[in-house]
Amino acid sequence: MITLKLDGREVRAKKGQTILEVATENGIRIPTLCYLEGLSPKGTCRVCMVEIANRNGKLVPACVTPVEEGLEVITRSERLTRLRRTIVEMLFLERNHICAFCVSNGHCELQDLAVELGMDHVTFPYRYPGLAMDLSHDDFGLDHNRCVVCGRCVRACSEVEGAFTWGFTGRGIDTAVATDLGIPWGLSETCTSCGKCVQACPTGALFERGMATAAQVKSPEIIREVTERRPRVF
Amino acid sequence: MKAFAERKILLSNVGLIDPERIDDYLERGGYGGLRAALERTPADVVEELKESGLRGRGGAGFPTGIKWEFVLKSRGKTRYVVCNADEGEPGTFKDRVLMEGDPHRLIEGMAICGYAVGARRGFIYVRGEYALSIRRLERAISQARERGFLGRGILGSDFSFDIEVRAGAGAYVCGEETALLESMEGKRGWPRIRPPFPADHGFRGRPTVVNNVETLANVPEIVRRGAAWYRTLGTADSPGTKLYPLSGALTRTGLVEAEMGIPLRTLIFDLGGGPPEGRELKGVLVGGAAGAFLAPDELDIPMDFGSLRRIGAILGSGAVLAFDDTACVVDLLGSVLSFFAHESCGQCTPCRVGTAVLVDLLARVRSGNGDASVLDAMRRVTEVMEVASLCPLGQSVGLPVGTALEKFRGEFESHLKRGPCPRCEAATEVHA
């Protein structure tokens, strides 16, 4: 067992657990976005950054940082809220997140984060990229304008379904998810149409076709339910 | 006061030998370091490196001997030596000169490293555009094999080691060691979360030494002549010599080697010949695009790891890019920011979006579209990038932005007031 401090409170943890897991067990919420229970954590969205008080205030992503004996973790502070808010601002300005027209309005993790962090407006220039949609699949659709490049679809597809349909293409601000080697989703020969990517997606980027505005409710917890009886592979 | 001039150790063969003939290298004492290493225990060689105080020349300045010791003491029998030759830092061309001009020095350094840490295989990950480096390295490797400096039972010992060259595919971020390892494994060049560090979880999850070309090129001389000799060069904090690529508004640009701690002024005015006639030095970008802008009143700074760190700059690759009074700092920073936006891997939010936002904000400054709040917004972006980016690429963008805004603030303000300067307008055509 390891003893560490979360926001000043002494807690005990098992070796190998992450800061996020220990915080969750102890009823402390740390905001996340690219993290999804059942998938390997990647630490890339940087929303779950926490401060290590006894390492000069160094910031680390809670979802991938293992606990250590004596660690003093701060999960909430003015500094962290400001930081997380700016990161969420960046996600909003990056593409075209128009909640009022979105199938996921009211059921969106990005929107929830903005509310939680008090991000009521964006203080940097919007980018307004002109991105295409992929509506070639019979059952599902992809709208890059609403994607936050969290990669949950990519991991759900490879780690849970084992289809390896989803991947990334491009780099920098042009990074995007793609099916097979960039062919339209509907032409993919590897896609099993299982829909796990859609359920794993935190925003309205992946959706079931035929949904009206605000009608797309997701069940990301199915990823945990499908995987919890499997041996842990990561 | 120490008098500084060129001091060639790493470059002692460059230009004097035929890099495609191993005999030229051997005639000048080549592979003597490897021979000496094989007569000692691996732990002894690591100890020599630790005592030498050699620090990594890739930019971070981590003590090489300590890195080797991690790998030597790691569990698991399969270990690797990876040479980071993905030289992509703007204004940097030192590793290229070593690989093109004296490839055997690198091979010898890697073989010594392999012996010291218990690795049997080495890889050189070379920037894809360096076609001549790749060709010369491959030729040198096959010559070294023929002569028994690589392969099974090197020089009659029971130590076996071989080297393979891998070409990069044109991504700056693959110069970051964990992205490099991902790329070598055939994956997207996305940096890994650290820890674990490559020393215990490197190539294919095995303990791996990742060293820069210049770092490894130091090794043969250290082993041959000893740590005490090495420490007579440079400073206590940064022993040895350093390769400094000089570029920009100088009379003599090119690569020079001098002892660590040489003042920037000596590099610029004595070795670089100062700015072209009739022009005045306006500033210097030190350490590459991810480095710091320095003003003319900072030229007495010694060019070593510790001294630059103390003034909030970095030695980085050692690159020195001088610019004169005809240059526009807004335009220069624009080039730097476009570079980072192009090279960001896209994995983490602060860098992927931050680099793009900075380009947009700088365009506003350049065109005079905004007020001082645009400059504040730039700082807010880089503050988040510095602390929250996943890898050093995003973390370091704040340095050129911060130092440019601090030291040349007037120039940014005058653009905000009056729009693009003539220099900006001319440069726009060049960049396009």
For chain B, what's the residue count?
432
Residues B43 and B184 in one domain: yes
Distance from CA of B29 to the nearest CA of A (A): 46
Q: Could you report the per-residue pLDDT of A52-64, keeping only the tens digit for each? A: 999 999 999 999 9
Residues B189 and B264 in one domain: no
Residues of chain A with CATH 3.30.70.20: 100-227
CA–CA separation, B395 and B58 (whole Å): 16
Q: Could you report the per-residue pLDDT of A190-233, keeping only the tens digit for each? A: 999 999 999 999 999 999 999 999 999 999 999 999 998 887 66
Q: Does residue B269 surpass a pLDDT of 60?
A: yes
- Asked if A64 lies within 8 A of B193 by C-beta distance, the reply is yes
Going by pLDDT thresholds of 50, 70 and 90, the confidence category of residue B432 is very low
**Looking at the 3D structure of chain B, how many domains does it have?**
3
CB contacts < 8 Å between A and B, how many?
92
CATH number of A100-227: 3.30.70.20
Q: CB of B301 within 8 Å of any CB in chain A?
A: no
Q: CB of A173 within 8 Å of any CB in chain B?
A: yes
Q: Does residue B276 surpass a pLDDT of 80?
A: yes
Residues B251 and B226 in one domain: no
Q: Could you report the per-residue pLDDT of B331-388, keeping only the tens digit for each? A: 999 999 999 999 999 999 999 999 999 999 999 999 999 999 999 999 999 999 999 9
Q: Could you report the per-residue pLDDT of B190-228, keeping only the tens digit for each? A: 999 998 999 999 999 999 999 999 999 999 999 999 999
- Asked if B377 lies within 8 A of A123 by C-beta distance, the reply is yes
Non-local CB neighbours of B205 within 8 Å, separated by 6+ positions: none
The list of chain A residues with pLDDT below 50 reads none
Residue B97 belongs to domain with CATH number: 3.40.50.11540
Going by pLDDT thresholds of 50, 70 and 90, the confidence category of residue B423 is confident
Tokens of B15: 């230009």
Do the Cβ atoms of B89 and B317 come closer than 8 Å?
Answer: yes
10 Å CB burial of residue A136 (0-12, 13-18, 19+) is middle
Closest CA to B83 of B217, B190, B238: B217
Tokens of A53: 């008080």
Q: Does residue B430 surpass a pLDDT of 80?
A: no
Q: Which amino acid is at B125?
A: Y
Residues B210 and B265 in one domain: no
Domain end (from B279, B308, B324)? B324
- Asked if B349 lies within 8 A of A175 by C-beta distance, the reply is no
- Asked if B346 lies within 8 A of A170 by C-beta distance, the reply is yes
CATH architecture of A2-76: Roll (3.10)
Non-local CB neighbours of B293 within 8 Å, separated by 6+ positions: B283, B284, B285, B329, B400, B403, B404, B407, B408
Q: CB of A119 within 8 Å of any CB in chain B?
A: no
In chain B, which residues have their Cβ closer than 8 Å to the Cβ of A123?
377, 380
- Asked if A127 lies within 8 A of B356 by C-beta distance, the reply is yes
In chain A, which residues have their Cβ closer than 8 Å to the Cβ of B393?
none
Tell me, what's the pLDDT at B428?
A: 62
Q: Quote ipTM for the complex.
A: 0.97
Domain end (from B230, B255, B270)? B230
Question: What are the residue ranges of helices labelled H in B175-300?
Answer: 177-184, 213-225, 227-230, 264-265
Mean pLDDT of B152-179: 97
Residues B218 and B288 in one domain: no
CA–CA separation, B262 and B259 (whole Å): 6
Q: Which residues of A61-96 are buried (b: 16+ CB within 10 A; e: fewer)?
A: bbbbbbbeeebebbbeeeebeebbbbbbbbbbbbbb
In chain A, which residues have their Cβ closer than 8 Å to the Cβ of B381?
86, 124
Q: CB of B423 within 8 Å of any CB in chain A?
A: no
B59 within a domain of the structure (yes/no): yes
In chain A, which residues have their Cβ closer than 8 Å to the Cβ of B375?
none
CA–CA separation, A222 and A44 (whole Å): 22
Q: What is the extent of the structural domain holding B312?
A: 241-324
- Closest CB to B381: pick one of A91, A124, A127: A124
Distance from CA of A228 to the nearest CA of B (A): 25
What mean pLDDT, rounded, does chain B reach? Answer: 96
Tell me, what's the pLDDT at B425?
A: 79
User: Largest Cα–Cα distance in chain B?
Assistant: 73
- In this structure, is the dihedral angle defined by the CA atoms of residues A86, A88, A92 and A94, taken in order, positive or negative? positive
Do the Cβ atoms of A108 and A202 come closer than 8 Å?
Answer: yes
Tell me, what's the pLDDT at A234?
A: 54
Residues B76 and B125 in one domain: yes
Q: Could you report the per-residue pLDDT of B49-73, keeping only the tens digit for each? A: 999 999 999 999 999 999 999 999 9
Measured between alpha carbons, how far is residue A185 from residues A129, A151, A206 in Å? 21, 16, 11
Nearest-Cα residue of chain A relative to residue B194: A65
Nearest-Cα residue of chain B relative to residue A148: B349
Mean pLDDT of B253-263: 98
Q: CB of B363 within 8 Å of any CB in chain A?
A: no
CA–CA separation, B80 and B210 (whole Å): 9
Distance from CA of B186 to the nearest CA of A (A): 14
Q: CB of B389 within 8 Å of any CB in chain A?
A: yes
Distance from CA of A213 to the nearest CA of B (A): 27
